[in-house]
Amino acid sequence: MEPIKSFELSKEYLESLQDSIEIQNNSFIIESFEGANVADIASLLDELNMDEAIYVLRLLPATTAADILIELDEDSLIQVIRELETTELAGLIDQMESDDAADILILMPTKDREDVISHLQEKEKSANILDLLRYDEDSAGGLMAKEFIRANKNWNVVQTIEEIRRQAEKVEKIYSIYVVDNRQHLLGRVSLKKIILASSDTKISDIYEPELISIPTHMEGEEVAEIMRKYDLESVPVVNAKNRLVGRITVDDILDLIREQSEEDIQAMTGISADVEESDSIFRISKARLPWLLIGVIGGLMGAKIIGFFEVGLSKYIALASFIPLVAATGGNVGIQSSSLVVQSLASKSVFDDTPWQRFIKGLLIALVNGVVLATFVFLVVVFIYGFESIFGFTIGLAMFCVVLLSSFMGTVTPLVLDRFGINPAIASGPFITTANDLLGLSVYFGVAMLLLKL
Identical fold between 149-260 and 282-453? no
Rounded CA-CA distance 166/23 in Å is 44
- Looking at residue 351, its pLDDT comes to 45
Rounded CA-CA distance 155/62 in Å is 36
Instruction: Give every strand in the sheet of 186-190, ordered side by side.
Output: 149-152, 177-180, 186-190
- Looking at residue 259, its pLDDT comes to 75
- Looking at residue 276, its pLDDT comes to 56
Rounded CA-CA distance 446/86 in Å is 66
Residue 238 DSSP SS3: strand
- Looking at residue 165, its pLDDT comes to 86
- Looking at residue 430, its pLDDT comes to 64
> What residues contact residue 452 under an 8 Å CB cut-off, 6+ apart?
391, 394, 395, 398
Class of domain 11-132: mainly alpha
**Which CATH architecture group holds 149-260?**
Roll (3.10)
- Looking at residue 279, its pLDDT comes to 57
- Looking at residue 104, its pLDDT comes to 92
Residues of the chain with pLDDT below 50 are 1-3, 351-352
Cross-strand partners of 188? 179
Torsions phi, psi for 170 (to 5 deg): -100, -5
- Looking at residue 402, its pLDDT comes to 92
- Looking at residue 366, its pLDDT comes to 87
> What pTM was computed for the model?
0.64
Residue 225 DSSP SS3: helix
- Looking at residue 428, its pLDDT comes to 56
Cross-strand partners of 139? 220
* 282-453: CATH, from 3.30.2010.10, 3.40.50.170, 1.10.357.20, 3.90.1200.10: 1.10.357.20
The amino acid that residue 148 corresponds to is F
Number of H helices, E strands in the chain: 23, 6
- Looking at residue 429, its pLDDT comes to 60
Torsions phi, psi for 130 (to 5 deg): -60, -35
β-strands 235-239, 245-250 pairing: antiparallel
- Looking at residue 138, its pLDDT comes to 83
Of the candidates 236, 438, 262, the one whose C-alpha atom is nearest the C-alpha of residue 336 is: 438
Domain boundaries, the chain: 11-132, 149-260, 282-453
Taking only the tens place, the pLDDT of each residue in 331-390 is 878 887 787 777 767 666 554 456 767 777 887 888 899 999 999 999 999 998 888 889
